[in-house]
């Protein structure tokens, strides 16, 4: 796919790369995990305390084993996806503690909300991968909530799922439960990656022990990881986008190097999601144009290294599914799609700069994903689609409405929207004069009511339930 705006030319890409190499070799990166530090030391890296210094040759050695493309296998085979293929993959929002209500209020998210997002992903024609942390259920103990979330993801949806990277134990739970889903550890390894997990650096230039340990666990099991960096310009990183890109790139490459040390060939995704601090409020802004600039630049850096790329999708600082959210989400999602981003997380539902998920916005964003898929699909130009015979038969001043090809293709040729209205004013008024967010609220109940749970072997479901119960009981 072509870039939307070539923010970096070849010389600028080289400058970012060279600056990142100097950061890695001169400043280094903290890995707050003894096993990781020992591994770096054994492999000949310079380690001083918790700081690891990485040379350019060591980066290139890791990049040689990192795959440019890989498949994430779903338990329903036809739902498996290719990362780094011809089309972007969409996954829902991630990490929100709150639910945004239609009246503008917010409430704590629950496991029931999480389950409903799993159901929406399962029934979606746009979402390719189920999330892990669409919302953070506030009605569950924080120490074991991930177990119920993983169980819901595996049971309620048969698309590829995101794993739990919040700790090494969470990553181990991911692989143990996935092994039960696939029939055993050997079968899981043979299947290749069946999950993808989000490993985030702690800017500037740190990997917390939980993230470093989770990366080790997941890489050892051959599971895919997004090596993610979210530098906030002006607080956790330089105030300039150029400095942010250099710092972000260094952090991502450090994570890639570790993954390849643990398991050469481990599937990784370059996860650039840095943005700007709002200088008036001091908070993170994800609806700003700088985020989209960074997304475009990050995609170009990922291509330099031959890695699949991840970015955010339908992001907004707005608190409800209003005009601001539509504009900001369209800007960030369309930039990601047109920049050739391979894995678009937060493609549906996020409001309030990651702090909340909106069911209404999920449905609206989902439709926008479908529109962008249509927009970027190649036009079929052939003798059959041009159909010179039909043009000659109709001739000058005729009509095509009753032509055989029109009747044959009238229901499939054009993208049909469900939420976006195309009625005239009279039809819209007769239908209740509803805004799109109001239509989404009314559609939600019908969508959830029509959900059909995917089939799962009762013995496997019981095994997963047994594992969750045992872990929650401390066994």
Mean pLDDT of 156-169: 96
What does the pLDDT read at residue 184? 86
CB atoms near residue 305 (< 10 Å): 19
Q: How confident is the model at residue 7 (pLDDT cuts 50, 70, 90)?
A: confident
Which tokens sit at 195? 């999950």
What does the pLDDT read at residue 412? 87
The answer to whether the Cα torsion of 439, 442, 446, 451 is positive or negative is positive
CB atoms near residue 419 (< 10 Å): 16
Q: How confident is the model at residue 279 (pLDDT cuts 50, 70, 90)?
A: confident
243 half-sphere exposure, CB direction, 13 A CA radius: 13
| In the chain, % of residues over pLDDT 70 | 99
* Number of domains the chain contains: 1
Which tokens sit at 291? 């985020």
**CB of 164 closer than 8 Å to CB of 210:** no
What does the pLDDT read at residue 6? 53
CB atoms near residue 117 (< 10 Å): 28
Q: Is residue 99 part of a domain?
A: yes
For all residues of the chain together, what is the average pLDDT? 94
Gyration radius of the chain over CA positions: 23
Summarised one tens digit per residue, pLDDT across range 120-135 is 999 999 999 999 999 9
Summarised one tens digit per residue, pLDDT across range 33-51 is 999 999 999 999 999 999 9
Q: CA 338, CA 331: separation in Å to the nearest integer?
A: 11
- CATH assignment of the domain containing 99: 3.20.20.480
Q: Is residue 439 part of a domain?
A: no
Is residue 251 predicted with pLDDT exceeding 80?
A: yes
Distances (CA, A) of 198 to 91, 184, 226, 242, 272: 12, 24, 5, 24, 12
Summarised one tens digit per residue, pLDDT across range 193-235 is 999 999 999 999 999 999 999 999 999 999 999 999 999 998 9
Q: Is residue 446 part of a domain?
A: no
Q: CA 422, CA 17: separation in Å to the nearest integer?
A: 47
Q: Is residue 383 part of a domain?
A: no
What does the pLDDT read at residue 139? 96
Q: Is residue 145 part of a domain?
A: yes
Q: Is residue 253 part of a domain?
A: yes
CB atoms near residue 254 (< 10 Å): 27
How many Å separate Cα 451 from the centre of its chain?
Answer: 23
Summarised one tens digit per residue, pLDDT across range 95-116 is 999 999 999 999 999 999 999 9
Sheet holding 232-233, edge to edge: 232-233, 275-277, 284-285
What does the pLDDT read at residue 188? 85
Which tokens sit at 323? 């005009």
238 exposure class (CB count in 10 Å sphere: 0-12, 13-18, 19+): middle
Of the ranges 270-274, 374-378, 416-420, 458-462, the best mean pLDDT one: 458-462
Q: Is residue 432 part of a domain?
A: no
Residues shown for the chain: 475
> Which residue is associated with the tokens 């746009």?
126
Summarised one tens digit per residue, pLDDT across range 316-345 is 999 999 999 999 999 999 999 999 999 999
**CB of 156 closer than 8 Å to CB of 115:** yes
Q: Is residue 70 part of a domain?
A: yes
Strand segments (E) across 46-138: 46-48, 51-53, 70-72, 81-83, 89-90, 98-100, 106-108
User: Which of the 8 DSSP states describes residue 142?
Assistant: T
Instruction: Tell me the residue range of the domain where 251 lies.
Output: 64-376
Summarised one tens digit per residue, pLDDT across range 368-426 is 999 999 999 899 999 999 999 999 999 999 999 999 989 999 888 888 888 898 889 99
Q: How confident is the model at residue 191 (pLDDT cuts 50, 70, 90)?
A: confident
């Amino acid at each position: 796919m072509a870039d939307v705006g070539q923010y970096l030319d070849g010389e600028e890409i080289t400058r970012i790369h060279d600056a990142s190499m100097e950061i890695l070799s001169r400043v280094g990166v903290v890995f707050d995990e003894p096993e990781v530090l020992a591994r770096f030391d054994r492999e000949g890296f310079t380690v001083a305390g918790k700081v690891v210094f990485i040379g350019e040759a060591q980066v290139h050695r890791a990049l040689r084993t990192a795959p440019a493309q890989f498949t994430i296998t779903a338990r329903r085979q036809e739902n498996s996806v290719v990362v780094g293929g011809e089309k972007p993959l969409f996954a829902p929002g991630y990490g929100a503690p709150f639910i945004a209500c239609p009246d503008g209020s917010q409430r704590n998210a629950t496991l029931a909300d999480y389950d409903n997002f799993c159901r929406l992903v399962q029934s979606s024609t746009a979402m390719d991968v189920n999330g892990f942390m669409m919302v953070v259920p506030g009605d569950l103990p924080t120490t074991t909530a991930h177990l119920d979330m993983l169980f819901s993801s595996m049971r309620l949806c048969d698309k590829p799922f995101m794993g739990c990277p919040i700790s090494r134990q969470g990553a181990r739970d991911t692989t143990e439960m996935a092994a039960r889903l696939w029939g055993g550890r050997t079968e899981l390894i043979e299947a290749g990656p069946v999950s993808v997990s989000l490993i985030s650096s702690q800017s500037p230039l740190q990997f917390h022990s939980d993230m470093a340990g989770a990366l080790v666990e997941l890489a050892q099991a051959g599971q895919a990881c997004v090596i993610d960096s979210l530098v906030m310009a002006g607080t956790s990183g330089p105030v300039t986008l150029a400095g942010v890109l250099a710092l972000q790139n260094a952090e991502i490459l450090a994570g890639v190097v570790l993954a390849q040390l643990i398991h050469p060939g481990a599937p990784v995704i370059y996860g650039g999601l840095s943005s700007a601090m709002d200088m008036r409020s001091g908070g993170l802004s994800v609806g700003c144009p700088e985020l989209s600039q960074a997304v475009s630049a990050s995609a170009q850096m990922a291509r330099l290294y031959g890695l699949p790329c991840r970015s955010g999708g339908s992001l907004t600082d707005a608190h409800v599914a209003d005009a601001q959210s539509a504009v900001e989400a369209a800007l960030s999602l369309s930039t990601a799609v047109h920049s050739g981003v391979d894995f678009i997380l937060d493609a549906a539902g996020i409001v309030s700069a990651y702090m909340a998920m909106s069911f209404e916005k999920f449905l609206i964003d989902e439709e926008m994903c479908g529109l962008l898929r249509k927009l970027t699909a190649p036009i079929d130009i052939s003798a059959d689609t041009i159909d010179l015979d039909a043009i000659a038969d109709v001739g000058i001043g005729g009509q095509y409405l009753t032509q055989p090809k029109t009747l044959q293709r009238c229901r499939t040729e054009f993208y049909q929207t469900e939420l976006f209205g195309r009625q005239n004013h009279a039809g819209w008024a007769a239908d209740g004069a509803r805004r799109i967010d109001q239509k989404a609220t009314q559609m939600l109940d019908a969508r959830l009511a029509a959900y059909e749970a995917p089939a799962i072997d009762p013995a496997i479901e019981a095994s997963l339930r047994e594992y969750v119960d045992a872990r929650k009981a401390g066994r």
